């Protein structure tokens, strides 16, 4: 009987040794904390980042290829009701909508470089074919000194 008790005790001790690391691994899996939302951006504030250009087909203009410009920045929260654009931290890519050929020409020379724009109107992307997480419809380029 003592031998049976010793065997069971050894089995229980072994099981406890195997289970303890698994339990502690579940409690502290080493995962980073959830990302914090980006700082807010409101009308009149400055957004800085790298300017990218992409050629996309314009669905309104018989599929003509047009340049689309996008700023890649740190995550930013948009003003209500847009908030985080259904993202954990807020959008990081912002499409710059050009309202004239002059604005498009102005941006063309800055592709691949850091730029800053004053944001007048911004919203989450909602139309099919938009390549950015958020869209800046009214903006002005800030000249670096």
Quick: pLDDT tens for 90-133: 889 999 988 888 888 889 999 999 999 999 998 888 876 677 88
d(CA 97, CA 94): 9
Closest Cα partner for 111 from 77, 71, 142?
Answer: 71
pLDDT number for residue 110:
93
Longest dimension (CA), the chain: 94
Instruction: Please say whether the beta carbons of 118 and 142 come within 8 A.
Output: yes
pLDDT band at 144 (very low <50, low <70, confident <90, very high): low
The first and second tokens of residue 131, run together, are 């390549």
Q: What is the share, in percent, of the chain residues with pLDDT greater than 90?
A: 26
pLDDT tens digit sequence for 24-41: 445 556 677 777 778 888
Residue 54 has pLDDT above 90, yes or no: no
The residue whose two tokens read 């040794």 is 17
Q: Scanning the structure block, which residue is given the tokens 């710059």?
A: 96
Distance, CA of 137 to CA of 36 (rounded, Å)? 26
Q: 91, 105 in Cβ contact below 8 A?
A: no
- What pLDDT score was predicted for residue 145? 42
4 pLDDT above the threshold of 70: no
Tokens of 90: 């807020």
Token pair for 102: 């002059």
| Alpha carbons within 13 A on the beta-carbon side of 71 | 28
Q: Which of 58-62, 78-82, 123-127 has the highest mean pLDDT?
A: 123-127
């Amino acid at each position: 009987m003592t031998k049976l008790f010793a065997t069971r005790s050894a089995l229980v001790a072994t099981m406890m040794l195997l289970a303890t690391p698994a339990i502690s691994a579940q409690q502290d899996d080493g995962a980073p904390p959830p990302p914090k939302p980006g700082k807010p951006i409101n009308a009149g504030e400055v957004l800085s980042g790298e300017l990218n250009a992409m050629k996309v087909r314009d669905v309104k203009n018989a599929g003509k290829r047009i340049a689309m410009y996008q700023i890649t920045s740190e995550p930013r929260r948009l003003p209500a009701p847009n908030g985080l654009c259904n993202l954990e931290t807020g959008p990081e890519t912002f499409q710059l909508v050009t309202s004239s050929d002059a604005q498009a020409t102005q941006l063309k020379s800055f592709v691949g470089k850091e730029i800053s724009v004053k944001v007048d109107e911004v919203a989450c992307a909602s139309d099919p074919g938009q390549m950015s997480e958020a869209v800046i419809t009214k903006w002005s380029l800030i000249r670096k000194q």
